Structure 1
Amino acid sequence: MINLQPYSNPAYFGILLIALLPVIIGLYFGRRLKIYESIFTLAFLILTFGGDHWHQGAALILYTCYQVLLTMGFTHYRWNKNQTTIFVSAVILSILPLIIVKFTPLFPNYNGFNIGFLGISYLTFKTVQVIMELRDGTIKEISWSQYLHFLLFFPTISSGPIDRYRRFIKDYENVPDRSAYLDDVSKAVFYLIQGFLYKYILGYIFGTLLLPNVARAAMSQSSAFGGTGISWYLLGYMYVYSMYLFFDFAGYSLFAVSISYFMGIKTPMNFNKPFLAHNIKEFWNRWHMTLSFWFRDFIFMRFTFWVMKHRWVKNRVRMSQLAYLVNFLIMGFWHGLTWYYIVYGLFHAAAIIINDYWLRYKKNHADKIPHNKFTEGLAIFVTFNIVCFSFLIFSGFLNQLWF
C-alpha cells in the first residue's frame, strides 16, 4: 500500500485535486456531498496512516473513538451536581493520551513503541476546546457525526490550523451561494500557489540549499574555538533557520487553508506577516495564530480567571505575568521535553513580560518618547532579532554546538 504524507510531494496534490473534483462540482451547484466527503476523507486518512504507518492509523482510530465517547459522555453529565469534578476529569482525560505520548520516551524501558500519531496534538486541542466550550455553554449541543467531521477534517489533521467547532460547523452545514463559492475557489487557488512558493521554493532555498552549509560552517568555526566560539556563521544559521521555519510552516498552512476553501470550509489563516510585528505581543498575534489564540483562550485566560477566583494574586500586573509564564512554559513543554524547548517557552514569557513593562512605561511617558517611521522601523528590527534568537534556541542547534 502506498503511503503519502500530507502535502509532501506533487503526487499527493495530483491525487488530491482529482479527488476534490466532485466536491467542487457539488458545491458549485449548491450541494455538499456529505457521503462522498466522508468516503474521500477516509481514503486520504488511509493514504496518510496506512502502509508502513498502520500503527499510527490504529492509534488514530482508538484515539478518535476514545475522544468521541468522552465528549459525548461529558455532554450528558455536564450539568450533574458534581459538574466541576466532571469537567476537570473530562479535560484531564482528554489530554491524557497526549501526555502519555510526550512522556513515554523518558521511561528507561522505552523501546520505541508509542501510541502517538501524526496530528495527535492538534486533535487534542480540538477536543479540549469543545469540552471547555460545552462547559461554558457557548456550544449548546453537539452531534457525534458533526464532531467526527470536525476532528477528522483531513486538510488540517496533521499540523493545523486549529479551527473552532462552531465556526467549522457553520461552514459545514451552510453551503455558500455560487458567487461566494467562486470567490472561495479563487482564494483557494491563490493560497495554493503561494503555498508552493513558500514551501517548495523559498523553503527549499533556506532549508535545503543554505541551512546545511551554514550549519557546517558554524560547527567548524565553533570547533576551532573549542566548542565555545560564537561566530558570524552561527548568526547566519539563526537567520536562515528562522526563514526556513517560517516559509516551510506557513507554506504547509497555506496548503491546508487552500484545500479547506475548495471544500467550502473557511479554515482560519495561521500567519499574518509575523516578521513585521512591532513587539513580541504583536508577533504572537501574527505567528501560528490559531495555536497562539488557542493558548490565549484556553490556558492564559482560564488560568487568569482561576487565580482571580481563588484570590491567589491580587495585583493584576503580577497576575498577568504569572499567566504568561504558565502559558509559555506549557507551550514549551508541548513542543517537547528537552531543555531548548522549555527555555524557548521561558524566553518568550520573559520577553512578553518585559514588553508589557515597556508598553506601560511608553504609555505613561508618551510625551517624551518619539513616535515616527524611524522608531517603528527600530521596533520591527528589534522584535525580528529577538524572535530569530528564540528560533535559534528552538532549533536545538545550540545543543549540537555545545554538547
Structure 2
Amino acid sequence: MIPYGDFPFFFIAFAVLLPIIIYGLFGKKNIHLNFIATVIMIAIIFKDNHKHILGIPYLSYSFMSLAFFVAFQCILIKLYIKIAAKKNTLPIFILMICLSILPLAVVKVLQSSMFHLSSWTFHDTPIKAIFGFLGISYIMFKCIQIILEIRDKRIKSIKIYDLLRFLLFFPTISSGPIDRYKRFLKDESKPLTQERYSTLLHKAIHYIFMGFLYKYVIAYLINTYIISNLHFATDPLLYKLAYMYAYSFYLFFDFAGYSLFAIAFSYLLSIETPQNFNKPFLSKNIKDFWNRWHMSLSFWFRDMIYMRFVFFMSKKKYIKNNLLVSNIGFMINFMVMGIWHGIEWFYILYGLYHGILFVLYGYYEQWKKKHPVKIPVKVMDVIGIIVTFHIVAFGFLIFSGKLF
C-alpha cells in the first residue's frame, strides 16, 4: 500500500492512530504507543500478497529489505560511535559514509541498468524487488546525517530504540520531509498539553484538507485533462512548452499535497515535522527557489554537502578564491542531488543545470553590487518571479526526461 496513495490508506491510518488521538486530547503522550502504531502501519504499507516469504503477505520482499537495511544502518552507526570515541579519523569516516550509501547505490545502478531488470529473477522474484524498497533514500539521508554529527562530536551516544523510532517514523518514511535526529528526539520529549495537542490536531486537519485539494483535485485535473491530452499539440515546440508548464504545476501540487499529508500525520503523533514547501513559484531568484522548494531535501544537501565542502576547502586553503570554492561547492552539491534521483542522463543534466544557475546567479549578484539598477524594487521582484519561474520550469522539463 502506497502511503497517501488512495483513500483506504487514510481510513486505516486514522483507525490505527485513533487511540493516540484520544490520548493526546487528554494531554497525554506515549512514545511506546507511537512506535507500536508505526510498526503496524509499516507492516500494512509493505504488505504484498504476491511477493512474500513463507506464505505470509506481511513478510514481503520489500519489508525484509527494509528490515535488513535498517539493521545494517543501526549496526554501522553503533559501530562508528565506538570507533569515533577512540579514533575519529577521516578515512574511517569516509568508509562509514560509503558503507551507508552502498545499498542505495546498488539499487540505483540496478534500476538504471541497460538490462531489463524484470528478466533478472531469483526464484521468479525480480532482483529489483529484493534490493529496493519504498523509502530507502530518505532513511539513508537520516543515517548519513547521524554519521556526520557523530564525526562532528555533536552525537556521542545513541540508543537503538531511539534510532529505530527516528528511522522508521511512518508518516515520512516513503518520501520525507527529511527530519534531523536531535530535532526529532527533542520534539518527541516535549511535554504535551491538551491545548498544544488541540492546536496540532487542528493544523493536521487543515493540512489534510489542503493535501486533498492539492493532490487529489488540482494535480489530478492537471494530469487528466492537460498532460494526458497534449496530443492536440502537433508542433514539437508547442508540445514541449505545454508539457513544461503543466508538468511543473502537476509536480508541485502532487508532491506538496503528499508532504502536507506526511506533516499532518506527524502532528497527530505530536511530532512537528519540518515544512517542505513555501510558495516556491513566487521565488525571486534561484537561491530563493531552493529555500522554498522541497526544503528539507535542499537544506539537507546544503548542510551536509555544500557547507562541509566549503568549510573543508577554506580550512585546508587548497583554493584561496572564496567565490571559486563556493561555485565548485554548488556544482558538486547539485550534481550529487541529480545523481541521487537516478543515474539517467536527464537527472544528471538536471543537477548540472541547477549548479550552473547558482554559479551564474553568484556572478550576477557581484555585478549588481557594482551596477545598481534604478528600477523600483517591486518591479524587480515581479521580473525576478517571472524569470525564476521559467528557468525552474525548464529545469522540470529536463527532469521529466522529455526535453529530447
Q: Is TM > 0.5 for Structure 1 vs Structure 2?
A: yes
Q: Which deviates more, 165-174 or 377-386?
A: 165-174
Q: Give the distance between the partners of 1:26 and 1:243, measured in 2 at CA.
A: 39
> Aligned pair 1:379/2:384, yes or no?
yes
Which of 271, 286, 292 is the equivalent residue of 1:280? Answer: 286
> Aligned pair 1:295/2:301, yes or no?
yes
Q: Where do residues 97-246 of structure 1 align in structure 2 (5 Å cutoff)? A: 97-105=103-111, 106=113, 110=117, 111=120, 112-114=126-128, 115-214=131-230, 216-218=231-233, 220-222=234-236, 230-231=237-238, 233-246=239-252
Question: How far apart are 1:386 and its partner, in Å?
Answer: 0.4
Q: Deviations over 1:119-178 (max 9, x none)?
A: 100000000001111221222322110110000000000000000111110111223222
Question: How far apart are 1:48 and its partner, in Å?
Answer: 1.1
Q: Deviations over 1:87-116 (max 9, x none)?
A: 221111111111111112427585241311
Question: How far apart are 1:240 and its partner, in Å?
Answer: 0.4
Q: Give the distance between the partners of 2:365 and 2:225, measured in 1 at CA.
A: 40
Contact residue 362 and residue 369 of structure 1 kept, 8 A = no
Q: How many residues align?
A: 385
- The residue aligned with 2:100 is 94
Q: Which deviates more, 71-80 or 60-69?
A: 71-80
Q: Give the distance between the partners of 1:162 and 1:236, measured in 2 at CA.
A: 32
Q: Give the distance between the partners of 1:82 and 1:109, measured in 2 at CA.
A: 43
TM-score, length of structure 2 as denominator length: 0.92
Q: Give the distance between the partners of 1:352 and 1:200, measured in 2 at CA.
A: 34
Q: Give the distance between the partners of 1:81 and 1:120, measured in 2 at CA.
A: 29
- The residue aligned with 2:56 is none
Question: How far apart are 1:82 and its partner, in Å?
Answer: 5.2
> Aligned pair 1:259/2:274, yes or no?
no
Contact residue 329 and residue 342 of structure 1 kept, 8 A = yes
Q: Give the distance between the partners of 1:210 and 1:371, measured in 2 at CA.
A: 37
Contact residue 101 and residue 116 of structure 1 kept, 8 A = yes
Q: Give the distance between the partners of 2:310 and 2:261, measured in 1 at CA.
A: 35
Q: Give the distance between the partners of 1:325 and 1:76, measured in 2 at CA.
A: 34
Q: Which deviates more, 165-174 or 235-244?
A: 165-174
Question: How far apart are 1:44 and its partner, in Å?
Answer: 1.1
> Aligned pair 1:393/2:398, yes or no?
yes
Counterpart of 2:65, as a letter, is A
Identity among equivalent positions (%) equals: 45
Question: How far apart are 1:32 and its partner, in Å?
Answer: 2.1
Contact residue 27 and residue 175 of structure 1 kept, 8 A = no
Counterpart of 2:161, as a letter, is S
Counterpart of 2:36, as a letter, is I
Find the residue that maps to 1:68 and give its secondary structure: helix
Q: Which runs of 5+ in 1 are unaligned?
A: 223-229
> Aligned pair 1:38/2:35, yes or no?
yes
Question: How far apart are 1:295 and its partner, in Å?
Answer: 0.1
Which of 313, 338, 343 is the equivalent residue of 1:307? Answer: 313
Q: Which runs of 4+ in 1 moved over 3 A?
A: 107-110
Q: Give the distance between the partners of 1:316 and 1:217, measured in 2 at CA.
A: 50
Cα pair distance change 1:81/1:35, threshold 3 Å: closer
Cα pair distance change 1:91/1:74, threshold 3 Å: same
Q: Give the distance between the partners of 2:29 and 2:158, measured in 1 at CA.
A: 20
- The residue aligned with 1:20 is 17
Find the residue that maps to 2:104 and give its secondary structure: helix
Q: Give the distance between the partners of 2:389 and 2:167, measured in 1 at CA.
A: 35
Contact residue 28 and residue 192 of structure 2 kept, 8 A = no
Question: How far apart are 1:372 and its partner, in Å?
Answer: 2.7
Q: Give the distance between the partners of 2:289 and 2:278, measured in 1 at CA.
A: 9
Question: How far apart are 1:356 and its partner, in Å?
Answer: 1.2
Contact residue 304 and residue 323 of structure 1 kept, 8 A = yes
Question: How far apart are 1:334 and its partner, in Å?
Answer: 0.7
Counterpart of 1:393, as a letter, is I
> Aligned pair 1:50/2:64, yes or no?
no
TM-score, length of structure 1 as denominator length: 0.92
Question: How far apart are 1:302 and its partner, in Å?
Answer: 1.2
Q: Give the distance between the partners of 1:209 and 1:306, measured in 2 at CA.
A: 50
Contact residue 28 and residue 181 of structure 1 kept, 8 A = yes
- The residue aligned with 1:225 is none
Question: How far apart are 1:310 and its partner, in Å?
Answer: 3.2
Find the residue that maps to 1:238 and give its secondary structure: helix
Contact residue 175 and residue 264 of structure 1 kept, 8 A = no
Find the residue that maps to 2:157 and give its secondary structure: coil
Q: Give the distance between the partners of 2:171 and 2:87, measured in 1 at CA.
A: 40
Counterpart of 2:21, as a letter, is I
Find the residue that maps to 2:235 and give its secondary structure: helix
Question: How far apart are 1:296 and its partner, in Å?
Answer: 0.1
Q: Deviations over 1:172-222 (max 9, x none)?
A: 1223222111111111111111000000000101122211112x334x433
